[in-house]
Every structure is written in C-alpha cells, then in structure tokens.
C-alpha cells in the first residue's frame, strides 16, 4: 500500500474533510483532521445525497448506516407556485438499482463519517483553527492558537467556502453576491409530505422541500432574488415572518409548511470562482474549498464526496505525490466546473417572472415529462450515473 504510514493533515472536518480522512486512513495513511469548531456536529439542515455521492458512502462501508438514518427519495417534482399544480415528475424509482438517492440531516451524515473515521484511526482535533498554510516539503500550517504543524507530507484543504488553504495556492478572488438568498428551516411533517424533493417555482423565487430521516420532519430551502446584500453562513438567523412574507403568494402545501417555521437561517448566495489550481507543493484542495457552488442542483456535498474518494485513490495508485495530485485535479476539475455551471443555470429556470414565458416553459416541461419521462431522467445520467469508485 503506497499510503502506508504517510502523514496527512486534513484542514476542516465537514463532509468532504471527514470523507477524505476516512478514505485515506482505510488505505493505510496516518491522518489527522484539524477542525476549528468545538464539536464535530455540523450546522445546517437537510441535504440530498444523490447516487454519485451515495456510491462513495457505500464504498466507504457506510451504505447501510446511511440508509438507516435517511429517507429514500422516490421522485423530484416541479410544481407551479400558485396552487402547487404538478409541472414535471422525475421518477427516481426507475433509476438503476445501484443508484440510491437519499434525504438526510447533515448532522447525521457528519456523525456517521466522524464515527467511522475515528474507528479507522483518524485523529480528529477540535478547536484547531488554521490561520495560514504554506506549500513546501514539508508543507506548513500556522494555527490561530500560536501552534505550528510541519510534520505531514500532505495538507488537504477541506476548509470550505472561505478556505485559508486555497489562499496559499491561488490567492483569494473576491466572491460576488448573486442577488439571491436562501432560507433554511426544518419543520414537523404535519403535511404528510411524500418522500419527494418538491420544488415550488414562482417569479423570482422557489421553495424546495423534502422529508428527513424517518419522515417525521421536513427540510425547507427557499430562495429569493433580491438586491440587498446578505452575508454568507448559517450563523445568520432571520425572522420566520420574512420567509412567510416572501412566499405569501404560494399555494399547495407551502402555507402549511411555512406557518410551522419557528427558527430559520438566512444565507446570502455568492458566486466564488472555481480555484484555478487545486494542488501545490504538499497541498491539495477539495470540496467547497476548490469549487464552491450554488445549491440549485444539490451537488456541493456530493462533489466533495467524489473528490475525497478520487484524491485517496490517486495518492494510493502513484508513489509520486506530485503526479498523483496532478492526476486528481485532471480527473475532477472539468466535471466540477460542469456541475457548478449547471447549478447556476437552474436559478433562472426556476424563477421565470414573465407569466407568458413561465406558462409556456411549464407547458413544455410537462409535455416532455409525459411523452418521454425516461428521457427527462436520463438527462441526468452524466451527473448521477458517474461512479468515481468504479
């Protein structure tokens, strides 16, 4: 095993960092995770794990554990905002048997990964905020508490949107506010929400809902176009009345969901460029640190899982670390760029404001879904059918 005994430090204990730590440890590396938070339980709410990310979870030996803590998804359904009338149904039960789609609470997934990583020998160190990284042989890290770390052959930056490791490689290009914000909330499932991701599409806004875990709760992500700037990050709570007002024209089960919201987070959506360079001397990036994305295709965590597996496999296959890292970037960059672009494109498709254009678009989608339902689903083969573990 090429990786046996290789010391690797992962900065960031989110979904990407923990998955990489576990994948590397299972291949023999000595892995330490440095996480700034005081506990490993992630903030945020629900998350959709599509088949491409799910395959990594299975390859890490966590398929059964994920299934027991998540809700299997049966469909993605697009609805018109007014009365919730169905526009298009993508029937996920017709996906090939090895393509599972799950709705899970982010904290449950992070717990699973952390538990299994610790059992595989990964050291997870909390309250370790990294201030700066410096490429080299060995690469060096400076921590905010004054400590230094310089005993690893590789530092992996899995430190999310505002990555300090990314800054060490390519500087920090300023993110641009997209003019959109997202609210996120979890409410009790008193509306008998089916096991489907439902997207209510209205002018300048849309609302996604799906059940979590055993179906007792519903996750809500609601996006609105607006000119006023809002900061990025889940620490920003908002008044549930603002969410209810923004979606007051929505029908279907949306009003019933929104009147149950008692706590809601608000996140300003920013466009960050995909990092030009994902590796340097003794350094690699993955997940949001490398390719932040808008949430409109539910792929940020799925891409981070794919990165984690690919990075570990490349390092294991090639004793030369520099060429393994170059191969990792080569395998990942084009795909991630494509996914980020597709997610950006979804916002305007959901938010059509002109009623004539919206009506025609919904009619066309509905017709295509009825005439060729399999073709509509197969459009996503490139995304969900991709198997980095093959």
The answer for residues whose C-beta is within 8 angstroms of residue 281's C-beta and 6 or more apart is 135, 136, 137, 139, 322
Shortest CB 356 distance to ligand FAD, Å: 30
- Out of 29, 34, 212, 257, the only residue in the binding site for ligand FAD (CB under 6 A) is 34
Q: What SS3 class is residue 294?
A: coil
Torsion, Cα 254 260 266 272, to 10 degrees, reads -50
Nearer to ligand FAD, 69 or 362 (CB): 69
The bridge status of strand 148-149 relative to strand 140-143 is antiparallel
* 198 membership: H or E segment, kind and range: strand 196-202
Residues 132-171 that bind ligand FAD (CB under 6 A): 158-160, 164
Nearer to ligand FAD, 87 or 301 (CB): 301
- Among 210, 328, 350, 384, the one annotated catalytic: 210
Peptide bond into 138 cis (omega under 30): yes
Only one of the segments 35-43, 252-260, 309-317, 367-375 lies at the binding site for ligand FAD (rule: CB under 6 A); that segment is 35-43
Residues 8-27 that bind ligand FAD (CB under 6 A): 11-17
Helix runs in 60-178, H state only: 63-69, 106-119, 164-170
- Residue 110 has a CB neighbour count (10 Å cut-off) of 24
How many residues of this chain interact with ligand FAD, rule: CB under 6 A? Answer: 34
* 368 membership: H or E segment, kind and range: helix 355-371
Residues 312-351 that bind ligand FAD (CB under 6 A): none
4 phi/psi in degrees, rounded to 5? -55, 120
Instruction: Provide the 8-state DSSP code for 174.
Output: P
Nearer to ligand FAD, 30 or 35 (CB): 35
* 334 membership: H or E segment, kind and range: helix 321-350
Instruction: Provide the 8-state DSSP code for 287.
Output: G
210 is catalytic: yes
**Order of strands, sheet of 279-280, starting from the edge strand that comes earlier in the sequence:** 123-125, 30-34, 7-11, 154-157, 283-285, 279-280
* Binding mask of the shown chain, residues 225 to 264, with x at each position contacting ligand FAD by CB under 6 A: ----------------------------------------
- Alpha-carbon distance of 179 to 132, in angstroms, equals 31
Nearer to ligand FAD, 12 or 240 (CB): 12
- Out of 35, 196, 238, 306, the only residue in the binding site for ligand FAD (CB under 6 A) is 35
| Residue 217 binds to ligand FAD (criterion: CB under 6 A) | no
Nearer to ligand FAD, 11 or 315 (CB): 11
- Out of 73, 152, 168, 298, the only residue in the binding site for ligand FAD (CB under 6 A) is 298
Nearer to ligand FAD, 34 or 358 (CB): 34
User: Which residues sit at the interface with ligand FAD, rule CB under 6 A?
Assistant: 11-17, 34-37, 47-48, 128-130, 158-160, 164, 182, 184, 221, 267, 287-289, 295, 298-302, 304
Q: Write out the catalytic residue numbers.
A: 210
């Amino acid at each position: 095993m090429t990786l046996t005994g290789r010391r690797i430090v992962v900065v960031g204990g989110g979904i990407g960092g923990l998955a990489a730590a576990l994948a590397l440890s299972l291949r023999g590396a000595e892995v330490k995770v440095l996480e700034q938070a005081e506990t490993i339980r992630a903030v945020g709410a629900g998350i959709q794990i599509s088949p491409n990310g799910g395959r990594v979870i299975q390859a890490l030996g966590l398929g059964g554990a994920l299934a027991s803590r998540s809700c299997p998804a049966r469909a993605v359904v697009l609805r018109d905002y007014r009365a919730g009338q169905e526009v298009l149904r993508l029937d996920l039960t017709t996906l090939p048997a090895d393509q599972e789609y799950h709705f899970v609470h982010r904290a449950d997934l992070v717990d699973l990964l952390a538990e299994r990583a610790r059992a595989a020998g990964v050291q997870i160190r909390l309250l370790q905020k990294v201030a700066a990284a410096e490429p080299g042989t060995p690469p060096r890290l400076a921590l905010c508490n004054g400590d230094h770390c310089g005993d690893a052959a590789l530092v992996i930056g899995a430190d999310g949107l505002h990555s300090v490791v990314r800054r060490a490689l390519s500087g920090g290009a300023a993110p641009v506010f997209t003019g959109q914000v997202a609210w996120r909330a979890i409410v009790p499932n008193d509306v008998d929400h089916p096991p489907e991701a439902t997207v209510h599409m209205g002018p300048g806004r849309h609302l996604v809902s799906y059940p979590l875990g055993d179906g007792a709760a519903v996750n809500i992500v609601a996006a609105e176009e607006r000119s006023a700037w809002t900061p990025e990050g889940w620490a920003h709570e908002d008044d549930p009345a603002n969410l209810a007002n923004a979606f007051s024209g929505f029908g279907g089960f949306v009003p019933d969901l929104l009147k149950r919201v008692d706590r809601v987070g608000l996140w300003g959506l920013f466009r960050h460029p995909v990092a030009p360079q994902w590796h340097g001397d003794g350094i690699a990036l993955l997940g949001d640190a490398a390719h932040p994305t808008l949430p409109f295709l539910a792929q940020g965590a799925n891409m981070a899982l794919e990165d984690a597996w690919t990075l570990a496999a490349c390092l294991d296959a090639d004793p030369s670390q520099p060429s393994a890292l170059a191969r990792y970037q080569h395998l990942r960059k084009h795909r991630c760029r494509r996914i980020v672009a597709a997610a950006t494109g979804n916002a305007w498709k959901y938010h059509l404001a002109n009623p004539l254009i919206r009506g025609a678009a919904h009619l066309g989608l509905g017709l295509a879904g009825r005439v060729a339902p399999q073709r509509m689903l197969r459009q996503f083969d490139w995304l969900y059918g991709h198997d980095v573990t093959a």
